[in-house]
Structure 1
Amino acid sequence: MLSSVKGSWCLILGASSGMGRATALAMAREGANIFGVHFSTASQQDEVDALIEELRATGVQVVFHNRNAASKQTRAELVPLVAEATGGAGVRVLLHSLAFGSLLPFIPQDDQADVISQRQMEMTADVMGHSLVYWTRDLYVAGLLPRGAKVFALTSRGDEHAMPSYGAVSAAKAVLGSHVRQLAVELAPAGIAVNALRAGMTLTPAMQRIPNSAGLAQRAREGNPHGRTTTPEDVAETILMLSASDLSWMTGNTIAVDGGEGLV
């Protein structure tokens, strides 16, 4: 059954840039209130303030917290604030858009002597993979994921393909996909859908930190049937569309949002 996101709440982990930012704007323009968690430096605060102002200009309620979303303490402190902001009604949409991990290689290279450490491997998997489980569970236990809620995780073709210096992130994305499937099964009786979106090559700040990102983007652009790369707005529009239904029958999937990039 189609419905509307107007008046509902959207919780975005990683709300200040990239796909999180685009989703916040898309949801707010359709009348959804935004609870954003971001991890920004002082030099980025002006951009965050401008985003908050733009969101509020749509007439919705906006709550932002500059905290490490992968921290257990952050979850413990913010989940009650989600309950307070939503009046106990909970969130219709949870978007996991955390993109922080190590890009060091596993094996020493001629031009790169440093290799990834065990701590960095574990941190990458925890931030980009395991934290989805912890946030989803804490919200559900607190009664803040009602029937009809949608949980979205963001993955990439790196969950199946190897790229230079992408090993730890690739592993984390594979972990994320596994968690999506398991959460989908366990939350199905509650009528909550959990899906991953596999975006095509998207020029986000996180993507631009990948070595040779410009070359990767150029190849993706040339190979994409649409003749361009994916934009954060493409992903945001997909999330908005999938959120406008109370049904949970479409769950446990990894959905390509790439304009056909993965087909060629």
Structure 2
Amino acid sequence: MLKPLEGSWSMVLGASSGIGRAIALGLAREGVHIAGVHFDTASRTEEIEAVVDEIRSLGVEAHFFNANAAARATRADIVPRLAELTGSGGGIRILVHSLAFGTLVPFTPREGWDKQVSSRQLEMTLDVMANSLVYWTQDLLAAGLLRSGAKVFAMTSAGTSQALPSYGAVSAAKSALESHVRQLACELAVSGIAVNALRAGTTVTPALRRIPEHAGYIERAAENNPHGRLTRPDDVAEAVALLSRTDSSWLTGNTIGVDGAELHAAAGAWG
């Protein structure tokens, strides 16, 4: 039986680990070919090759590019290659922005940190985690690779409305990302392209573990979630597949919680 997404192409920015990896594998199970961008050192080569092999074992194509997804040169190199891969009839059905690279330094001096955040760190975080969504969308659209029925998803977090000592720059970037999503949704509505942010619940990923305060944050989140567990990367992957199965662009411009009601239950006690 033909699956609704079978034979289509997805572009996953941040495909090598965490939520991006889970989405790539989840879409591959739906018959979606995967083009992934990641930025990793040689020490992870075997691990990433294993991910590519796992995707291909599901009967779809997988092409991973180890490059800085926020760099103009990367887009200039990869977008024409995507046009060749997808051919004249397909384009990119699903674009996933799951880039989790930003500074984790407080805005002002405090005990435990040697330096306060610099303008370069702030600008880099905003560019990688927010502005790059706009640039990839622009370039894919200009190349004719985003067409009616396409879906664009950007991974955000509850950090847009919560404060942690080291999370200020990332929080600002995620807030900008959600704003970019709303703007792109309005501008691309006429083209039949849906753009949404997905706010995953607390998910134990390499990016989360880099946050200095992560241990206490994880503990509180587990206590708050009425499901009695944290969000898993596969929960988010299932949501992406579900929301991508329709050609409709009417569900657009939203920040959609994929968190098991964690955020809504944060003030209560569950168990």
- The answer to whether 1:217 aligns with 2:218 is yes
Number of the residue aligned with 2:32: 32
Partner of 2:7, secondary structure, is coil
Which contiguous aligned blocks of 4+ residues in structure 1 show a shift greater than 3 angstroms? none
Deviation at 1:112, TM superposition (A): 1.4
Give the AA of the match of 2:212: P
Identity across the alignment (%): 60
Deviation at 1:212, TM superposition (A): 2.2
Partner deviation per Cα, 1:62-110 (whole Å, 9 max, x = no partner): 1111010000000011000110100132110000000000000001002
Give the AA of the match of 1:76: A
Any conservation in 1 of the 2:154–2:197 contact (CA below 8 Å)? yes
Number of the residue aligned with 1:17: 17
Number of the residue aligned with 2:146: 145
Any conservation in 1 of the 2:164–2:213 contact (CA below 8 Å)? no
Give the 5 Å matches for 1:142-221: 142-221=143-222
Give the AA of the match of 1:96: H
CA distance in 1, matches of 2:212, 2:187: 38
- The answer to whether 1:66 aligns with 2:33 is no
CA distance in 1, matches of 2:50, 2:111: 43
Deviation at 1:246, TM superposition (A): 0.2
CA distance in 1, matches of 2:44, 2:190: 41
- The answer to whether 1:254 aligns with 2:255 is yes
CA distance in 1, matches of 2:4, 2:92: 13
* Structure 2 spans left out of the alignment, 5+ residues: 266-271
Deviation at 1:194, TM superposition (A): 0.1
Partner deviation per Cα, 1:192-232 (whole Å, 9 max, x = no partner): 00000001100010011001212111110011000111011
Number of the residue aligned with 2:246: 245
Give the AA of the match of 1:214: A
Deviation at 1:19, TM superposition (A): 0.7
* Structure 1 spans left out of the alignment, 5+ residues: none
Partner deviation per Cα, 1:121-174 (whole Å, 9 max, x = no partner): 000000000000000011011100010000000000011111111000000000
Give the AA of the match of 2:151: K
Deviation at 1:111, TM superposition (A): 1.9
CA distance in 1, matches of 2:114, 2:55: 44
CA distance in 1, matches of 2:203, 2:38: 19
Any conservation in 1 of the 2:222–2:229 contact (CA below 8 Å)? yes
Deviation at 1:113, TM superposition (A): 2.5
CA distance in 2, matches of 1:55, 1:195: 25
Superposition TM-score, scaled by structure 2 size: 0.95
Deviation at 1:13, TM superposition (A): 0.3
CA distance in 1, matches of 2:254, 2:30: 25
Number of the residue aligned with 2:86: 86
Any conservation in 1 of the 2:70–2:127 contact (CA below 8 Å)? yes
CA distance in 2, matches of 1:15, 1:182: 25
What is the aligned residue count?
262
Number of the residue aligned with 2:51: 51
Number of the residue aligned with 2:122: 121
Structural RMSD (CA) = 0.8
CA distance in 1, matches of 2:25, 2:114: 41
